[in-house]
Amino acid sequence: MSTPTTWRKPPFIQSPALRWLFILSVAAYVIGTIATLPIDWERTSEGFARAGRIFSGAFPPSFDRSGLMISGFMESLKIAILATTLGMILSVPLAFMAARNVSPKPVYFLGRGIFILARSFHPVIVAIIFVKAVGFGPLAGALTLTIYSIGFVAKLLAERIEEIDFGQVEAIRSAGAPFLSTMVYAILPQIMPRLVGLGIYQLDSNLRASAVVGIVGAGGIGATLANAFGRYDYDFALAITMVIVGAILISEAVSGVIRKRMT
Amino acid sequence: MTTDRAQDWARFTPAERLRRYLVMLAATVVVVWALSSIDVIWEWVWDAPIQLADLFARMVPPDPTNLPSILEATWQTINIATIATMLAILLSLPVAYISAQNTTPNRACLWIGRFILVSSRSVNTIIWALLFVAIFGPGIIAGIIAIMFRSIGFLGKLLGEAIEEIDHAPIEALEACGASRFKTVIYGIVPQVMPAFFAVSILRWDINLRESTVLGLVGAGGIGIILQGAIDTFQWQEVSMVLITILALVISGEVISSTLRKKLL
Amino acid sequence: MLEIKNLVKRYGKGAPVLKDLNLLVQGEQLMSIIGSSGAGKSTLLRCVNRLVEPTEGSITLNGTDITKLAAKDLRRARRRIGMVFQGFNLVDRLSVMENVQSGRLGYISTWAAITRRYPAADIERAFELMERVGIAQYADKRADELSGGERQRVGVVRALMQRPEILLADEPTASLDPKTSEQIMTLLRDLARELNLPVIINIHNVTEAKEFSDRIVGMRYGRIIFDDKPAALDAAQMDEIYAGTPSEDRQEIGAVA
Lowest-pLDDT range of A10-14, B71-75, C245-249: C245-249
Is residue C59, in this structure, part of any structural domain at all?
Answer: yes
Structural domain range at position C6: 1-75+200-256
pLDDT at B201 over 90: yes
Is residue C58, in this structure, part of any structural domain at all?
Answer: yes
For the domain spanning B64-264, the CATH number is: 1.10.3720.10
Distance from the A2 Cα atom to the nearest Cα atom in chain C, whole angstroms: 9
Cα radius of gyration (chain B): 26
What's residue A68's pLDDT? 82
Residue C154 is which amino acid? V
In this complex, the residue of C75, C87, C155 whose CB is nearest that of residue B178 is C75
In this complex, the residue of B177, B186, B191 whose CB is nearest that of residue C93 is B191
Chain B, window 161-200: residues with a beta carbon less than 8 angstroms from a chain C beta carbon: 167, 169-170, 172-180, 182-184, 186-188, 191-192, 194-195
Is residue C99, in this structure, part of any structural domain at all?
Answer: no
pLDDT tens string B58-106? 888 888 888 888 998 999 899 999 999 999 999 999 999 999 888 888 8
Domain positions in chain B are 2-59, 64-264
State the DSSP code for C95: B
For the domain spanning A66-262, the CATH number is: 1.10.3720.10
Long-range contacts of B245-248 (CB under 8 A, 24+ apart): B245/B70, B245/B71, B245/B74, B246/A120, B246/A121, B246/A125, B246/B213, B247/A117, B247/A120, B247/A121
Does residue A38 have a cis bond before it (omega within 30 degrees)? no
Q: Which of C95, C89, C91, C88 is nearest to C142 (CA)?
A: C95
pLDDT at C256 over 60: no
**Sign of torsion, CA A154 A157 A163 A168?**
negative
Cross-chain Cβ contact B178/C78 below 8 Å: yes
What is the value of ipTM here, to two decimals?
A: 0.83
pLDDT tens string B36-59? 887 777 777 788 888 888 888 888
**What percentage of chain A exceeds 90 in pLDDT?**
10
State the DSSP code for B65: G
Q: Taking residues A177-195, what's their average pLDDT?
A: 82
The backbone region for A77, taken as left when phi is positive above 0, alpha when psi lies in -120 to 50, beta otherwise, is alpha
- CATH number of the structural domain spanning residue C222: 3.40.50.300
pLDDT tens string C40-79? 888 888 998 888 888 888 898 888 888 888 888 898 889 8
Cross-chain Cβ contact B47/A78 below 8 Å: no
Q: Which of A229, A76, A216 is nearest to A138 (CA)?
A: A76
Mean pLDDT of chain B: 87
Q: Taking residues A237-243, what's their average pLDDT?
A: 86
Mapping DSSP onto H, E and C, the string for B138-167 reads CCHHHHHHHHHHHHHHHHHHHHHHHHHCCC
DSSP, collapsed to helix, strand or coil, labels residue B176 as helix
Contacts of B217 in chain A (CB under 8 A): 124-125, 128, 215-216
**What total number of domains does chain C contain?**
1
Contacts of A5 in chain C (CB under 8 A): 120-121, 123-124
